[in-house]
């Protein structure tokens, strides 16, 4: 689905992997990163994936080689709890500006 979202609206699902390097490249020190992932299955995140797949149906079927049967199987599995997996992640990154001398 990430490829379909990228094709439709330009979302980059991979940018966060490079975020610590970007912070270090602009001179921040003590760079750190933390990530967490939610699970897909019954509940709000499962419903999010169902709605997303339904909204991207034409893209998935037309451009990404997903068959109608595969899509229906996914929608059924997500809604019933047969599919429990990790999905969207949240990434936090930070860094500290280098110390600057105090000018009197």
The whole-angstrom separation of Cα 80 and Cα 24 is: 44
Average pLDDT, the chain: 86
Q: Which residues contact 85 (CB under 8 A, 6 or more apart)?
A: 39, 40, 41
Q: What are 17-67's pLDDT values in tens digits?
A: 889 999 999 999 999 999 998 888 778 888 888 898 999 999 889 888 899
d(CA 99, CA 80): 54
Report pLDDT for 102: 66
CB 16 within 8 A of CB 35: yes
Can you give the pTM of this predicted structure?
0.59
């Amino acid at each position: 689905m990430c490829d379909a979202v990228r094709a439709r609206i330009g979302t980059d699902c991979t940018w966060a992997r490079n975020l610590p390097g970007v912070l270090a490249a602009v001179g921040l020190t003590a760079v750190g990163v933390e990530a967490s992932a939610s699970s897909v299955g019954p509940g709000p995140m499962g419903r999010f994936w169902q709605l997303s797949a339904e909204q991207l149906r034409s893209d998935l079927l037309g451009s990404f080689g997903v068959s109608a049967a595969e899509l229906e199987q996914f929608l059924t599995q997500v809604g019933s709890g047969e599919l429990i997996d990790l999905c969207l992640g949240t990434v936090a990154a930070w860094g500290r500006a280098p110390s600057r001398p105090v000018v009197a």
